[in-house]
Copies of this chain bind each other. A is one copy, B any other.
Amino acid sequence: MRGKMDTTSGRRTEEHMEAFRSRCRDAGLKITPQRMAVYRALFESTEHPSAEVVFRQVRKTFPSISLDTVNRTLLTLSDIGAAFIVEGSGDAKRFDANLKNHQHFKCVKCRRIIDFHHGAFDRLDVPPNLMAGYTVLKKTVYLEGYCDLCKKDQNA
């Protein structure tokens, strides 16, 4: 389990930190204690934390860090591919009056959300043992990428 301490996870974390330092160098980013602390906190968490949660965690060992730095660092991490923004999060609420089965494609550029429908995606099966103790209310396939319009613009 990521984030749990066992005999090897300490070493593995250090390996990841080293890999992260390399990645920073490759991307031309400086290796600052704040950057390292934010990455470590994110990496050691299993909860897909918001900036606020990372901030509270990092501040335990780095009291002078600011929330802005955490915010900026997390965005930088996703810029260089060391982290992701969880699909869909971070936008204003979006509403949908289409009650029929369908799936969503979200354009990462213009943020349009486009319906599509693929019958096989209505009938996904999650192994019951995987979700033991959980109640699944909604089960959907979610795609992100560039929509037709934005793809055209990009070639320009």
Contacts and interface: CB of A to CB of B under 8 A. Distances in A.
A126 B143 contact: yes
Interface in A65-106: 74, 77-78, 82-99, 104-105
Interface in A32-81: 39, 42-43, 45-52, 54, 74, 77-78
A26 interface: no
B145 A48 contact: no
B148 A137 contact: no
Q: How many protomers of this protein does the assembly include?
A: 2
Contact of A89 (B51, B92, B116): B92
Nearest to A74: B95
Interface of A: 2, 39, 42-43, 45-52, 54, 74, 77-78, 82-99, 104-105, 108, 112-116, 118, 121, 124, 126-127, 130-131, 133-148, 151
Q: Which 6 A-B pairs have the closest CB atoms?
A: A88-B88, A90-B93, A133-B148, A86-B94, A48-B113, A138-B144
